[in-house]
Chain A
């Protein structure tokens, strides 16, 4: 972890003004920055591996193709067929449910945990390391492990004789969503906690000192200083969560494959199953385009609504 201003370091932070936290964003427009050509390799890479395939998917959505032979152009035939399919509509519903649930569950937990981890006590640093662990595991490994642990016949419940755990977690439509949410949050809370930890540590200690002199308690400082100071981080974290949930695939694919029935067939999974199980590449591309549009729309709205594009400093007046 990089050193953050404590009592003594508060002064340079004050002098540094806007450069703290927002970095390049506060540079004047006319100031000589690095040449735009430096971005070229990244842009070429992005264009080649993101933009070109994206256009390919849009083109494919107007064709019928089973993966062999050549795609045949069918105009708009795929669109009403796929969008009118109850399976797709169910997938859209599930995706929205997953996104909202992730935001509601993951956000507060990660935030509280991050603020807690920002403390400098020895035990907290030890705990931070433990919290960090899930981030190191691959999603496939996590999925397979939880699948085995949650197995009602040979899993954790059987091993310890806990009957309450011997539920058909991944096999019943009403249990599978909570079970999946638990595992997904277990995986991703550490990442967002880390963001919040960093953000919390960047808040100048002088703010807290001033608040304490004014007689503010712990709860009051949390809501009046910590939260407002972390505004940008909250927006970043929420954006990552929302866009991530919209495209979430790997854990669900490994753990349930969309089942039981269609209970976990979220849009990205629906796209995959259409394309690579039913060999309906046209239909899969339609779903792909919908996901991309949805993701772009949501992140655009988020930026607009929160005014995050203005890149203001939160350190105004510090």
Chain B
């Protein structure tokens, strides 16, 4: 720690040690945490927080230090070699510091949240391992190394979901399979990319490939791999399922923040560094369509949810849509918007999940039908939640407003349809958060009375839980009003691409702002209408839910019929049944038919040997006849 501090203070030009710390320290401490005595909650927590703090300091050190890259040989097979190469430059440092900061805040929250729960040790361990792998993925400067860390995240993802409910790991398996499919696409994409770029594997050596021929395939595969990590449709469906069982800190950490950061980071690099995505091209259109479909479908599902965690998890999907839309435009404003939105999303989505966690801890449930008016007992959480909700709804002057405006700008430039659909998404986002906030924190106080609960009244959470929430809320405001700070960083990342553009400050197009505000006002009116109609905030969106036509669609969607994972599972099951049938048939030939045939034949032959000498002698003469025949035949 002293070393890091001294390096920070000295501002040295090379922070190789910091890289080692970022990769090794969380991993080692993660293992240490799980090896510590079971009873040592305090010790474990200290080690856990310590690792996160040091990681954050190291990330800060890298951000402030100079760009550099390091490499050493990893695999040698004759002429073929893979360099273990890591690179620190403003983009990766930006991702690292975002990961580190959010991990630290969620970590502090986790220490309180997990107290008294079993398996907190394993959760700490996987949390830290996850962090190490994420650091590695962000630092990787070689596609193979990237893949190594990227695939490693699968394991921790699986483990962290599985910890939530050990008896039913189906959600974890689902997450694992979906992420593995995305990773598989990424592997194929990387293979094509390396092939097309003439065998270059170093990420900083690959020149952007034009999108022609096979390159299109490579681009789509890599993009799907990256977006799959971020949770865009059709790789989204594990998130709502995981929300049910997985520990809330995990939801805040992984789908809420970390996966978005990494996925969007890679998507931007694919679109900018590996391939030259041109505005208005077919591929651009393709990515934008993924974006708007993700926005509309996920937010549509979010609207009808009556459970806080589930509602938030659908928003975790829908927000990716905005980023994908922004990247898909391939316009400077779109990409800046996407990256800014990514950062903002990580902040407010973590905050939202953390407040959901606080509600769960206080009331024992997150079912909106059972809770109401919690601001009276949990005022600080309510404030944090409200700020984050305003931010995600795109209310000025919070950060979500500014990043969304940038994306709207880019969408309008790319096509009116995309803009309108993005606006529709914004409307639904605002509507669903009005409902969520109104139902959970406002109105008369209500909570589920649980007999066994030794905590009859919901209470404000401990400081360790609300402080991270408040810090995140504060960032929502800071990055909104002072958007020049993050935008300056983001624009420096994009370098020449940004030449002549500056998107900081108040949005450039006043008319777009007015339209957005109009949409927000319309959302408020819609909410009031729904509230008046049903009398309950939680049912404020029922008029949309049960609208003719939509009602049926929602029913089908709720049953999982629109889940690509379910389709995949159905297809796999059908295929497995087919294979099983074929296998049975082949087995039958081998195990039954052949055996029967041979055993019948064998029994028959054995019966010929009935022990009678006369019969044996008869055979001898029959045999002689045949031998004579053969002798004449072959003479």
A and B assemble together: no
